[in-house]
Amino acid sequence: MEGPTETPPTAGTSSKLVSFPESTWNNEDKKLPKPSTPRHSFPLNLLTFFGTFFSKSRARKKPVGVQRDPGRKILRTSTVSRISLYKMASSIEAVPYKWPHDSSFDSKTTALVIIDMQKDFCSPGGYMEYQQYDITPARNIIPRIQALLSAFRSHGFPVYHTREGHRPDLSTLSSRELRRSRNNASGLGIGDAGPLGRLLIRGEKGHEIVDELYPIAGENVIDKPGRSAFQHTEFRLMLNIRGIKNLVICGVTTDVCVHSTLREANDNGFDCVLVEDCAAASTRPLHEFAVESIKEEGGIFGAVTTSDKILRAMSVVRDEKVVLNGAPKDVSTSKCEV
């Protein structure tokens, strides 16, 4: 066994370094005990966890990015939640009676129905132009329907959109209807090719609802092969399941699809109101005749009102300039005073 060796002291020191050869080490001496980790009590661990969690939460809430210029104006849309801070009226001024007749105007009993505001009826190159009719009246009502739609959405009312159109194989189109649709100067009708695709055919561009009124998530679209939204559809079933008994109706055309839907809804027990300035026909006389017929005999088919009266009942006023989906800037918005 080798003994220890001495190392001579260096200059300026008085101590000696003693070293042992590695062969003299005991194997047990190499296994040095690990330092023990202090164990925290349960309450201390819990406090440490929550302290870390809340510090991270506060860090996430700190503003990031460029600060907004305080002088910059913010464009507002009319779909703001503050509209709901108002208490709505239970009825709307209408002719020939306050609507609904039982003062039950609220989001649980009432729905907005927008009839056939499709590109085929409202846009250049669509079906209506091939029928030799001016689409200007249909285009003119879009901003007012847009304001109405925004108010109904903000108040949580159910909204239904309808579209008239046929299957691509024309299996839902009668021979009489096909011939009727081609009885015009162009000779083109349902199923024929146009700039927006085949006229009044489901899946084509012309069959889509105009961009300004396009449905959002949760809004049902009723595809119908004819004039009334109740014929060959599930519309009545959907309304009954939701407990809807009042319908606010607008769209095109007043004398055809709008009137057909309104009259059949009336026969099925619904209390209907036509929004006169949110509906249009191919000619003014046809629109006026359809409106007047609703009001006869004390409201034989329902009542007639305007968008301003509805917005007033919903505490929405036309006093701000807003930009909404690229539509004309003069649309309704909410004014809330609390």
Dist CA 20 CA 220 (whole Å): 90
**In this structure, which amino acid lies at residue 297?**
E
Has 330 been annotated as catalytic? no
d(CA 133, CA 286): 13
223 classed as catalytic = no
Q: Which of 119, 223, 224, 309 is catalytic?
A: 224
Residue 116 a catalytic site member: yes
User: Catalytic one among 122, 257, 272, 278?
Assistant: 257
- The CA distance from 199 to 184, in Å, is 14
* Nearest Cα residue to 205 out of 286, 95, 127: 127
**Closest by alpha carbon to 128, among 222, 276, 256, 220?**
256
User: Which residues on adjacent β-strands are paired with residue 197?
Assistant: 194
CA distance 256 to 251: 10
Q: How far apart are CA 163 and CA 160, in angstroms?
A: 10
Query: DSSP letters along 107-135, please?
Result: TTTEEEEEE--BHHHHSTTSHHHHTT---
DSSP-assigned letter for residue 216: -
Helix (H) or strand (E) run with residue 139 in it: helix 136-140
Strand (E) positions, 121-266? 159-164, 193-194, 197-198, 220-224, 246-252
Catalytic residues: 116, 224, 257
